[in-house]
Amino acid sequence: MIARATAHRTQPATTLLGPGDDAAVVSAPDGRTVVTTDVLVEGVHFRLDWSTAEQVGRKAVAQNLADVVAMGAVPTALLVGLACPGSTPVEVVDGLTTGLWDEAAKVGAGIVGGDVVRAEQVVVSVTALGDLQGREPVLRSGARPGDVVAVAGRLGWSAAGLAVLSRGFRAPAAVVSAHRVPEPPYALGLAGARAGASAMTDVSDGLLADLGQLAEASGVSADLDRVALTPAAKLVEVGSALGVDPWTWVLTGGEDHAFLATFGPRRTLPAGWTVIGTVGEGSGVTVDGVDWDPENGPTGWTAFGR
C-alpha cells in the first residue's frame, strides 16, 4: 500500500531522502524546522458519504499546511499516518493518496514518509514541516495596541457548506465545496509574513475564537469592523434559505483556514489582505465596540458592550 502511494511520485528538491528507509531526510536550510500535526477521524472530522476520499486527503493536508504558513514558514514536507479497516476499498486509499499529493503539490512540498495500519475507523494523521527562510516565526503573541487586524481568505463558507450538508442538501456547490476542501490562500499567508505581520494564525475554529486566542496570547484586545466583515451575497442567500444568520458563519465558522494577522500601523498590507479591525489595550474581542453573542437572538448583537 505504501509502495502504491509513493510510486511514480516526484519529490521536490527539499526531499533529500524519501520513503523507504527507517526515516526520511528533509532539507532545513534555515537551521530551524517548523512542525505541526493534526489528526482527522472518520465520522468526526469528515464523512466519506459527504466527501470523496480525495477531498478528505486534500483537507487533511490543507489544514496542516495552513498551520505551517501561519508561522510564516514555507512548507517543505509531509508525513501521513493512515489507519483504516482491512475492508477499506483500494479506491478509497488511492483517492486519499491522490488528494494528499495534489494539495502538497500546491506548495511544492513532498510526502516523505508515513505508516499504514489496520484500525476499525479511518484515521488520518498528517505532520507538516516548513522552513522559515531566515525570518523569525510569526507568533500569535506579537500583536500590539495600534496594530490593524487583517484577513486573507474566506470566512464562514465552510460552516455554511456544513449547514447545507447537515440538512441533507448538496447545493449551492460554492459553499459545499468550501466545506469539503478548504482553500487556504497559502501565498497570501506567506506574503503577510514577508510584509512583517506582527502576529498571525489561521482561522480553524472561527474568527472570534481564533482572534480571541491571538489577543489573549498578545495581551491585547481587538475590535472588529462590522462593515468590513459583511457576509458575501452567497452566504446571505444560503442563510436565508436555511433560516440561519450568516453572521454566525462569518464570526464563528471555522475550517476555511483563512489567514488572520495583525500589522503595525505603518505597515503596507500586501495585495489580497483586508483590514477588518484594530488592536487595543485590554482584553477580549468586540465587533464595532460591542460583544457578539448568538444567545442574543438571531442577529447575535448585544445592545451594550461589556
By the criterion CB under 8 A, which residues form the site for a copy of itself? 16-17, 20-41, 44-45, 66-68, 70-71, 73, 77, 79-83, 112-115, 117-121, 123, 125, 127-130, 132, 137, 139-141, 200-202, 217
- Whether 22 has a binding-site annotation, put simply, is yes
* Distances, alpha carbon 214 to alpha carbons 5, 52, 82, 144, in Å: 38, 33, 32, 11
For residue 27, count other CB atoms closer than 10 A to its CB: 15
Parallel, antiparallel or unpaired: strands 110-118 and 15-17? unpaired
Q: Which of 114, 106, 10, 13 is nearest to 58 (CA)?
A: 106
Buried b (16+ CB within 10 A) or exposed e, 267-295: bebbebbeebbbbbeeeebbbeebbbeee
Residue with Cβ nearer a copy of itself (80 or 160): 80
Across 197-211, b (16+ Cβ under 10 Å) vs e yields bbbbbbbbebbbebb
CA distance 211 to 16: 37
Is 301 labelled a binding residue? yes
Cβ proximity to a copy of itself: between 83 and 232 the closer is 83
Beta strand pairing status for 199-202 and 274-280?
unpaired
Q: Which is nearer to a copy of itself, 144 or 234 (CB)?
A: 144
In the beta sheet, which residues pair with residue 84?
A: 118
Crossing angle, helix 233-242 and helix 173-180, to 10 degrees? Answer: 100
Cβ at position 159, least distance to a copy of itself in Å: 19
225 is in an annotated binding site: no
**Residue 99 CB, nearest approach to a copy of itself (Å):** 18
How far CA 169 is from CA of 45, 173, 217, 241, in Å, comes to 19, 10, 39, 11
Determine if residue 36 is labeled as part of a ligand binding site. Answer: yes
Nearer to a copy of itself, 41 or 242 (CB): 41
Measured from the CB of residue 288, what is the shortest distance to a copy of itself in angstroms? 28
Nearer to a copy of itself, 105 or 116 (CB): 116
Chain mean position to CA 48 = 20
Is residue 144 a known part of a binding site? no
Q: Cβ 228 to a copy of itself, closest distance in Å?
A: 23
- Cβ distance to a copy of itself smaller for residue 62 or 235: 62
> Cβ 13 to a copy of itself, closest distance in Å?
13
Is 255 one of the annotated binding-site residues? yes
Is 205 annotated as contributing to ligand binding?
A: yes
**How near is the Cβ of 129 to a copy of itself at its closest, in Å?**
7
**How many other C-beta atoms can be found within 10 angstroms of the C-beta atom of residue 191?**
18
Residue 288 labelled as part of a binding site: no
Annotated binding site for Mg(2+): 22, 36-38, 67, 115, 202, 205
Binding residues: 22, 36-38, 45, 67, 114-115, 140, 202, 204-205, 255, 301
Q: Binding site residues for substrate, as ranges?
A: 45, 255, 301
